[in-house]
Amino acid sequence: MPLTQVSSRAIEDTLRYVLGASGSDHYTFTGKGLTGAVNDPTLTLSRGHTYIFENRNSNGAHPFYIKTSIANGGTNDAYNTGVTNNGGAGGTEIVFTVPHDAPDLLYYQCSSHINMAGQLKIAGGGVADGSITEDKLADDAVTSDKIAANPVLTGTSGIKVPVGNTSERVNTQGMVRFNSTTGLLEYYDGTSYKGLDISPTVSSVNTNNFESSALPTNIVITGSNFSSSVTVKFTGTDGTAISSPSVTRDSATQITAQIPNTVTSVNEPYEIQVTNTSTGFSGILENAFNIDAAPVFGVASGSLGTLGSLGAGSSLTAVTATDDEGDTVTFSVTAGSLPSGITLNSNGTFSGTASQVSSTTTSTFSVTASDGTNTSVRQYTITVNPVYVQLTLGSGTWTPPSGVNSAEILIVGGGASGSRSPNVSGGGGGAGGILHNSNHTFSATEKSNGIAYVVGAGGLGVGMGSGNGYDGGYRNGEDTTFALSTGTLVAKGGGGGAGYGGNSPHLSGFGQAYYGASQGGSGGGGAFTHYTGASSNQTTYSGWTAYGNAGGDGHSDYTGGGGGGAGGAGGDAGGSNAGGAGGAGQLFSSFTAYGENGYFGGGGAGGAQGSTEPQGGIGGGGNGGYGDGTTQRSGGDAINGTGGGGGGVKNIGYNTYTYRSGNGGAGIILIKY
């Protein structure tokens, strides 16, 4: 049916309500006497008046029926007297002119959804149709001389006064009306509305939540003007009034009434109506109580805390909730996911250990609190920061994550290569220098601007050359730097091992300067004619512990000394078959997942003649190259990320160029929150 236009002459007797829907559970009404869109309100209609229900639900949804009962749903019990287009769906108007003989209570209901329903209370006797005509209401038809000063009303039916709810009051002095909210006659004295009779009032109850399993139970009602005989009713959202089977008047201001087990959570909240039986006057408390109220969270939505990788879940804020009925509340994750390794216990606490993450990770999840009957849901987050940050070969800027104020930091320079010499064993490469701080506090500048860094490479081992007797020399490791706001820290690259030199020519790029062992974070090992290993030149810094040691000495029998390590000096050569061992690296127990089982800065071993392989220092140092003319090995490469030194090598004979010295290991920067 197309939307109907109502003439201006009918405005006084016509009310319009606009219908929407809240899902399939409620009609929403907007119109006179209602504040905003109200779900399934109880409406009071006056006999003889016309009401338009404009169904604006789209696509023909939610057919609207006026009915004598809603118990059976569907189209049953339709009340069609005075109704035009009863059952009109979305996009139509249902017009209801209330007959004078209409029952005192009707209902509205969606024929498709039984819960979309409410009450229509029918009030007033009105004036019979046709009893008042236009000529009887013509201008000047009623004058003051036609109205007696003291009229006498006769008859037995009574006189009808205006009817409306509390929100429909008009504040005009002398106004008399029937308040459909309170059920009382009232008048306006120029300041406020006052009752024409003494009626009870209901102000409060002793509790507003009851567990259904505890019913029947008593409720204590507080108010005023309770007569010696009273009745109590509980009315739910469906409009059904349930009488209390047991009522005790404790005093004029207190009543104890039993809530029967027919009061269910389906129709909460319930209003309480107290009626004085002697007068029939009533008082009502709306939204007085609920049945089986849902748990109420005690922790606001949002972050429950921040963990580092391997952090304990027990340090997180526990989820809490209260239940008005006193039931035990349990918690579970019902959407999203917790960080890996973390578990939510049923009591709201967290346990487990956060798994390691490579970058800051925030998990969003929903927690459902249940009292066994009702539930509440709230969304939370937990952030996990990486405990370990590994900065490897190259350069960049690292910024501490939000919430991280301090950390343990390890800075390792690149290790040097060993030395290559013909017919003489080269010295082992020295390890990169190391700087360590167990608890560095980040400055505001470091947290806002980040920290620039460079991780140094290890020195490349030296290979063969053409021509008789060429020396190869060594390559030092590169520095690793960490630019704090107070100054740049430098973990020095390792120093290269010594070569022979003598009278032999050198390869391009390797002059006489490359024959002697080189200083570095740890010094290179010595060799024949350049016996003495080099010392460490690692700089020390306030608040930081520096590590670096000297290389071992070479031997006159052509064997090379071991390169210095972060934890100890390189070993001295012991003869033609005993190249010096690489100096031991330093153990850092916080970083056992890195380096060589937590060791860093092992020195490279010196080269040797014979069949025994000289050993590089623990912490990534390369083994020494060796040979006896039959069996020959190149110098061993250091482990990258340890700053270890490469092994030295001996090439048997001046015309043998097959074997190279070992590569130094790249440096590293490790950060633990």
SS (H, E, C) 556-606: CCCCCCCCCCCCCCCCCCCCCCCCCCCCCCEECHHHCCCCECCEECCCCCC
- Residue 214 backbone phi and psi in degrees, to 5: -90, -5
pLDDT, tens digit, 9 for 90 and up, residues 249-271: 999 899 999 999 999 878 888 99
- Residue 166 backbone phi and psi in degrees, to 5: -60, -40
Whether the predicted pLDDT of 542 surpasses 50: yes
Identify the weakest region by mean pLDDT among 418-427, 500-509, 528-537, 620-629. 500-509
State both tokens at 645. Answer: 């030194």
Q: How many Å apart are CA 475 and CA 478, to the nearest integer?
A: 9
Whether the predicted pLDDT of 173 surpasses 80: yes
Position 11 scores a pLDDT of: 41
State both tokens at 496. Answer: 């290269």
Position 548 scores a pLDDT of: 97
Per-residue pLDDT band for 308 (boundaries 50, 70, 90) equals confident
The answer to whether 504 and 514 are in contact (CB under 8 A) is no
Whether the predicted pLDDT of 376 surpasses 70: yes
Q: What is the mean pLDDT of the chain?
A: 87
The answer to whether 532 and 520 are in contact (CB under 8 A) is no
State both tokens at 381. Answer: 């987050």
Whether the predicted pLDDT of 6 surpasses 50: no
Whether the predicted pLDDT of 44 surpasses 90: yes
Identify the weakest region by mean pLDDT among 3-12, 71-80, 420-429. 3-12
Please list, in sequence order, all residues whose beta carbon lies within 8 angstroms of the beta carbon of residue 158, skipping any fewer than 6 positions away: 125
Query: Which comes out higher in pLDDT, residue 356 or 81?
Result: 81
Mean pLDDT of 652-662: 68
* Amino acid residing at 471: D
Per-residue pLDDT band for 120 (boundaries 50, 70, 90) equals very high
Given strand 201-205, what is the order of strands in its sheet?
Answer: 201-205, 217-224, 254-259, 247-251
Whether the predicted pLDDT of 1 surpasses 70: no
Q: How many Å apart are CA 238 and CA 60, to the nearest integer?
A: 25
The answer to whether 396 and 377 are in contact (CB under 8 A) is no
Mean pLDDT of 490-515: 80
Query: Helix, strand, or coil here: 266?
Result: helix
Per-residue pLDDT band for 500 (boundaries 50, 70, 90) equals confident
SS (H, E, C) 591-646: HCCCCECCEECCCCCCCEECCCCCCCCCCCCCCCCEECCCCEECCCCCCCCCCCCC
The answer to whether 561 and 428 are in contact (CB under 8 A) is yes
Given strand 388-391, what is the order of strands in its sheet?
Answer: 388-391, 668-672, 406-412, 434-441, 545-547
> Which letter does DSSP use for residue 88 in this model?
B
Neighbours of 458 (CB within 10 A): 38
Per-residue pLDDT band for 493 (boundaries 50, 70, 90) equals very high
State both tokens at 53. Answer: 């229900």
Identify the weakest region by mean pLDDT among 125-129, 263-267, 356-360, 422-426. 125-129
Whether the predicted pLDDT of 128 surpasses 80: no
Whether the predicted pLDDT of 478 surpasses 80: yes
The answer to whether 403 and 385 are in contact (CB under 8 A) is yes
- Specify the long-range contacts of residues 189-196, CB closer than 8 Å, at least 24 apart: 193/169
> Which letter does DSSP use for residue 214 in this model?
G
Please list, in sequence order, all residues whose beta carbon lies within 8 angstroms of the beta carbon of residue 2, skipping any fewer than 6 positions away: 92, 93
pLDDT, tens digit, 9 for 90 and up, residues 397-409: 999 988 889 999 9
Position 125 scores a pLDDT of: 60
Which residues are bridge partners to 291 per DSSP?
210
Q: Which residue has the tokens 């006064």?
A: 161
Among candidates 112, 27, 120, which has minimal Cα distance to 75? 112
Position 659 scores a pLDDT of: 79
Neighbours of 113 (CB within 10 A): 18
Identify the weakest region by mean pLDDT among 280-294, 444-458, 486-500, 651-665. 651-665
Q: How many Å apart are CA 517 and CA 425, to the nearest integer?
A: 13
Exposure b/e, 577-615, CB count within 10 A at least 16 = b: bbbbbbbbbbbbeebeebbbebbbbbbbbbbbbbeebbb
Query: Helix, strand, or coil here: 373?
Result: coil
Which residues are bridge partners to 222 per DSSP?
204, 254
Per-residue pLDDT band for 492 (boundaries 50, 70, 90) equals very high
Query: Helix, strand, or coil here: 444?
Result: helix
End-to-end alpha carbon distance in the chain: 71
Rg (CA), the chain: 47
Per-residue pLDDT band for 5 (boundaries 50, 70, 90) equals very low
pLDDT, tens digit, 9 for 90 and up, residues 145-154: 555 566 666 7
Query: Helix, strand, or coil here: 433?
Result: coil
Query: Which comes out higher in pLDDT, residue 347 or 515?
Result: 347
SS (H, E, C) 398-440: ECCCCCCCEEEEEEECCCCCCCEEECCCCCCCCCCCEEEEEEE
In terms of Cβ atoms closer than 10 Å to its own Cβ (0-12, 13-18, 19+), residue 175 is middle
Q: How many Å apart are CA 364 and CA 458, to the nearest integer?
A: 43
State both tokens at 269. Answer: 């909240």
Exposure b/e, 36-71, CB count within 10 A at least 16 = b: ebbebbebbbbbbbbbbbbbbbeeebbbbbbbeebe
Q: Is the dihedral of CA 216, 222, 224, 227 positive or negative?
A: positive
Mean pLDDT of 650-654: 63
> Which letter does DSSP use for residue 358 in this model?
S
Position 174 scores a pLDDT of: 84
Give the β-pairing of 14-22 and 26-31. Answer: antiparallel
pLDDT, tens digit, 9 for 90 and up, residues 528-541: 888 899 999 999 99
Q: How many Å apart are CA 384 and CA 364, to the nearest integer?
A: 12
Which residues are bridge partners to 659 per DSSP?
none
> Which stretches of 236-318 are assigned E, i.e. beta strand?
241-243, 247-251, 254-259, 270-276, 282-291, 296-297, 302-308
